[in-house]
Chain A
Amino acid sequence: MHFTDREWWTLIHGMGFGSLFLLGFAGGLAGLYSLRAQWVTPAGIAERVHRLKIGVVAMAIAAWGTVITGTWIVYPWYRDPALDSPRSSLLGDAATKDWHHFGMEWKEHVAWLSPILATVAAFIVVYYGVNLIRHDRVRRTAMTLFVVSFLFAIIAGAFGAFITKVAPVI
Chain B
Amino acid sequence: MRTVEDTTRPETGSPGIDFPDKPEGPVVAAVLAGGIGCLALGVFTTLAEASSSIKDWLNWKDAVGPLAGKTGMAVIVWLIAWVALHLFYRDKPFETRRALVIALVLIGLGALGTFPTFFQAFASE
Contacts and interface: CB of A to CB of B under 8 A. Distances in A.
A1 B103 CA distance: 48
Contacts of A138: 24, 27, 96
Contacts of A37: 12-15, 17
A134 B67 contact: no
A45 B14 CA distance: 11
Interface in A88-145: 101-102, 105-106, 108-110, 112-113, 116-117, 119-120, 123-124, 127-131, 133-138, 141, 144-145
Contacts of B34: 116-117, 119-120, 145
Interface string A7-46: 0000000000000000000000000000011100010010
Given A124-B27, A141-B97, A145-B34, A117 B12 contact: no
A127 B67 contact: no
Interface residues of B, number: 48
B108 to A, nearest CB: 9
Contacts of A3: none
Contacts, number: 124
Contacts of B14: 37, 133-134
Given A133-B17, A148-B107, A120 B63 contact: no
Nearest to B39: A113
Interface residues of A, number: 42
B11 interface: yes
A145 B111 contact: no
B65 A120 contact: no
Grouping DSSP codes into helix (H, G, I), strand (E, B) and loop, the A interface class, with mixed when no group exceeds half, is helix
Contacts of B30: 120, 123-124, 127
Contact of A137 (B13, B95, B104, B110): B95
A67 B96 contact: no
12 contacts: A75-B64, A101-B116, A105-B120, A110-B114, A110-B115, A112-B41, A116-B38, A116-B41, A124-B30, A134-B14, A137-B97, A148-B107
Interface of A: 36-38, 42, 45, 67, 71-72, 75-76, 79, 101-102, 105-106, 108-110, 112-113, 116-117, 119-120, 123-124, 127-131, 133-138, 141, 144-145, 148, 152
